[in-house]
Amino acid sequence: MSATAQNWPPVEVEPPSPHPDAPAPGQPLDAHYSHCFGCGDEVESGLRIRSTVGEHHVVVSTFTVTKDHQGAPGLAHGGLLTCAFDEALGTAAGNLLRVPVVTAKLETDFRRPVPVGSTLYITTKLCGRAGRKVYTSAEGRLDAADGPLAVEARALFVTVGVEHFLEHGDPEQLKELGERHSDWDVNP
């Protein structure tokens, strides 16, 4: 384990406490937005990550690496793997806490190559909260939840209100997000 992973979160945090209405273990999570490169179904070469809530407040996300995802011949692009972890880490934070979050910091440690055709199993856990900051970490394993460790990541997310997306995003496209997440605490 890297020194960075051993010191995560880097500040004193409160233990994570999933929202009372967080999805139950075993429940699959829908895409948060159909045009999301990470989880949406409307992006032809997107990752199409699928996530399910696991036991003990974790989220397990999977995606299969295709030829469209390669960097070196036959291997997944490192930036694309980082994108997959951003999606998995954010999915866990948003769904378990029932609040919108945005990425503030993301670190990845690549442990072994991820070949085209393999499926990456990303297990994400909430590590703690400090005010609006949410700390998460994840491991990605090859071809099975207990397969060889390929990638590790840590992320800091910040909770935001709907005004963040209204100011910086596309208000028309936000309607779909609002419909999918009407039960979230958008402005806590």
The residues, any chain, with a CB within 8 Å of residue 64's CB and separated by 6 or more, are 117, 118, 119, 120
Is 86 a known active-site residue?
yes
Distance from the Cα of residue 39 to its chain's centroid? 9
- Nearest CA among 34, 27, 156 for reference residue 95: 27
Nearest-5° Cα angle at 164, 160 to 167 = 175
Task: Point out the catalytic residue in the list 21, 86, 109, 146.
Answer: 86
Supply the residues annotated as catalytic.
Answer: 86
